[in-house]
Amino acid sequence: MRPEPVYRRIGAIIRSQRRRLEWPQHALAARLGMSRATLANIETGRQRVLVHQIYAFAEVLQLKPTDLLPPDSDGQPAADLTKLAIQGDVNPEQREQIARLIGSQSVSLKSKKKIDAKSAKKIPGSSRQKTAR
């Protein structure tokens, strides 16, 4: 099974910071209360990182939780859930946890569609049409 790109990127960020601090894997793993093998799997992206683990990694590695998240496709930090491409088996509760993690408000697909529909009603044509000021 190939590691998903987002988990490989998070693992690479963790590995990079661990090396910058000049800590061996076993030392970081001990501080986090996990095995060295688990840490190795996280660093390579073979094991998914849970939301509470991102907070733990950030605290121990002297980072903000958002520092562990890869940038979006435009190279911008992942600070807005609506810009973060969340793929795979993510239920609404996990989506909300991710939203809290990155410090933004969660907008569900249903509510976003409702907002877009309301905008389209207010502006003749489509929600993309510009109005004269």
pLDDT tens, residue by residue, 91-103: 777 767 776 665 5
Question: Which pTM does this prediction carry?
Answer: 0.56
- Percentage of the residues of the chain whose pLDDT score is greater than 70: 55
How many domains does the chain contain in total?
Answer: 1
The verdict on residue 102 lying in a domain is no
The verdict on residue 129 lying in a domain is no
pLDDT at 77: 57
The verdict on residue 90 lying in a domain is no
Domain that holds residue 12: 1-70
Residues of the chain with pLDDT below 70 are 1-3, 72-90, 95, 99-133
DSSP the chain: -PPPHHHHHHHHHHHHHHHHTT--HHHHHHHHTS-HHHHHHHHHTSSPPPHHHHHHHHHHTT--GGGGSPP-TTS--S--TTTS---SS--HHHHHHHHHHHTS----HHHHHHHHHHHHHHSSS-TTPPPP-
